[in-house]
Amino acid sequence: MIKELRLKNWKSFAKATLYIDPLTILIGTNASGKSNTLDALLFLHRLSSGVGIFQAINGDVNVPALRGGIEWVCLKPHKQFTLEVLTDGAHKNQDLHYKLTIQLNGTKAEVFEEELSVLSHSPKKEKKLFNTQQAESTNPGIPTYFSTGTQGRGKRIDLNRSYAILSQTESMNLRKEVQDGAKQVLSQLKQIFVFDPIPSHMRDYTPFSEKLNNDGSNIAGVLAGLEENRRKNVEATLTHYLKALPERDIKHVWSEPVGKFKTDAMLYCQEGWEETATHEIDARGMSDGTLRYLAIVTALLTREPDSLLVIEEVDNGLHPSRARILIDMLRELGKERGIDVIVTTHNPALLDAAGVGMLPFIIVAHRDDKTGISQLIQLEDIEQLPKLIASGSLGRLNTEGRIESALKQENAR
């Protein structure tokens, strides 16, 4: 799993660390840097999938540009940014440390430095698996030294600086330790899923599919494409979690093949009221909140274990009284399926539902008053927090802007 994401000169950040837990909640006022943080995960995911660095930032026919594109990717006025991730290593007392510095040059975005190392905890030591060196300006490639397991710089191979070196290792034949380490980090980055379920995209018939789209548009197709027993289980769990959401009783949620050739599917649910017969509705008639919630549950049930699911404004469209149901669902399913979840929220009800037990996992994005630079602060690290909590619930403190005020006071000291 990815444990930490470090940002340097990335968007509104000079230097910040996001600690990633099974459920991480990112809060902060508008334009504080929440989405900027999550954009870094999306960028790394794209690189790991073999997308070129420039395309990953500025988009092309297959991928939309990151917000702001190349102009807004570095902290103004810098021309370089660094992203680092720490993931689990092969052994319990080891982590893998991946570091990537990108240099912008006109319309180019290229690797400036990249390295992967194994961090052992006891005794503490760092062993490089590969690292790059600056090349002569005439060299179109970037010299990369791969550890040979013995002393010395390692074996030099010049690689393409327009793509992350890490993604290029996939097609190379390397020493097992290096290959395994690179594979491990690559697979963690590939498993990042930035999910933005859009109810209006979910109302149509969709083709059978293996993978959920980023906007949740094909949930019916994904459910219908599951093997029979798995589909029944998933639909039962979906029904279980949806039951508590609306006022009416949800009896059953399922997906069914439609059309002459049965290559498409539609989502249905059966609802009942006390005094009337049950009736069936399809996705076209379902409410926005219902569809968005169903999409999130489906993502948790169908993404591969070890994934990192990122959802902005996770409670969008949900009634505040349902915040606890949502938090419980994210925690339970995340744990059961081995999926880490990062969410952003502006909703006081969600923070109240999370409760003090979640304090260590709530991160506040905050802009420094003087410099405008974003910071990521663990709620738990705010000195005044115990006093604040004694005077009001977390949601209330957030609504009244008292968390930001406390941070301003602490920054001014």
Q: Which residues bind ligand ATP (CB under 6 A)?
A: 11-12, 28, 30-36, 68, 72, 74-76, 365
Q: How far is the CB of 11 from ligand ATP (least distance, A)?
A: 4
Q: How far is the CB of 364 from ligand ATP (least distance, A)?
A: 10
* CB of 66 or CB of 333, closer to ligand ATP: 66
Q: How far is the CB of 70 from ligand ATP (least distance, A)?
A: 10
**Closest-CB residue for Mg ion?**
35
* CB of 27 or CB of 245, closer to ligand ATP: 27
Q: Which does 17 bind (CB under 5 to 8 A by kind): Mg ion, ligand ATP, none?
A: none
Q: How far is the CB of 345 from ligand ATP (least distance, A)?
A: 9
Confirm if 84 and 59 have CB atoms less than 8 A apart: no
Q: Which does 236 bind (CB under 5 to 8 A by kind): Mg ion, ligand ATP, none?
A: none
Q: How far is the CB of 34 from Mg ion (least distance, A)?
A: 5
Only one residue has tokens 């927090």, namely 385
Radius of gyration for the alpha carbons in the chain, expressed in angstroms and rounded: 23
Interface stretch with Mg ion, choices 5-13, 26-34, 195-203, 347-355 (CB under 5 A): 26-34
* CB of 36 or CB of 213, closer to ligand ATP: 36
State how far Cα 394 lies from the chain centre.
24
* CB of 35 or CB of 80, closer to Mg ion: 35
Q: Which does 28 bind (CB under 5 to 8 A by kind): ligand ATP, Mg ion, none?
A: ligand ATP
Interface stretch with Mg ion, choices 27-35, 75-83, 121-129, 242-250 (CB under 5 A): 27-35
Q: How far is the CB of 343 from ligand ATP (least distance, A)?
A: 12
- Residues in binding contact with Mg ion, number by CB under 5 A: 2
Binder among 35, 103, 270, 378 for Mg ion (CB under 5 A): 35
* CB of 71 or CB of 280, closer to ligand ATP: 71
Residue 275's CB is within 10 A of a number of other CB atoms, namely 5
Interface stretch with Mg ion, choices 34-42, 121-129, 215-223, 276-284 (CB under 5 A): 34-42
Q: How far is the CB of 344 from Mg ion (least distance, A)?
A: 6
342: β partners = 24, 310
Q: Which does 364 bind (CB under 5 to 8 A by kind): Mg ion, ligand ATP, none?
A: none
Q: How far is the CB of 274 from ligand ATP (least distance, A)?
A: 40
**Residue 208 neighbours by CB under 8 Å, 6+ apart:** 221, 224, 225, 257, 263, 264, 265
* Tokens found for residue 313: 């404004």
Interface stretch with Mg ion, choices 35-43, 149-157, 171-179, 334-342 (CB under 5 A): 35-43
* CB of 33 or CB of 225, closer to ligand ATP: 33
Q: What is the 3-state secondary structure (H, E, C) of the chain?
A: CEEEEEEECECCECEEEEECCCEEEEECCCCCCHHHHHHHHHHHHHHHCCCCHHHHHHCCCCCCCCCCHHHHCECCCCCEEEEEEEEECCCCCEEEEEEEEEEEECCEEEEEEEEEEEEECCCCEEEEEEEECCCCCCCCEEEEEECCCCCCCCEEEEEECCCCHHHHHHHCCCCHHHHHHHHHHHHHHHCEEEECCCHHHCCCCEECCCCCCCCCCCHHHHHHCCCHHHHHHHHHHHHHHHHCCCCCEEEEEEEEEECCCCCEEEEEEEEEECCEEEEEEEHHHCCHHHHHHHHHHHHHHHCCCCCEEEECCCCCCCCHHHHHHHHHHHHHHHHHHCCEEEEECCCHHHHHHHCHHHHHHEEEEEECCCCCCEEEEEHHHCCCHHHHHHHCCHHHHHHCCHHHHHHHHHHHC
Q: How far is the CB of 370 from Mg ion (least distance, A)?
A: 23
Q: Which does 30 bind (CB under 5 to 8 A by kind): Mg ion, ligand ATP, none?
A: ligand ATP
Interface stretch with Mg ion, choices 30-38, 122-130, 138-146, 353-361 (CB under 5 A): 30-38
**Is 393 a residue that touches Mg ion (CB under 5 A)?**
no
Residues of this chain that bind Mg ion (CB under 5 A) = 34-35
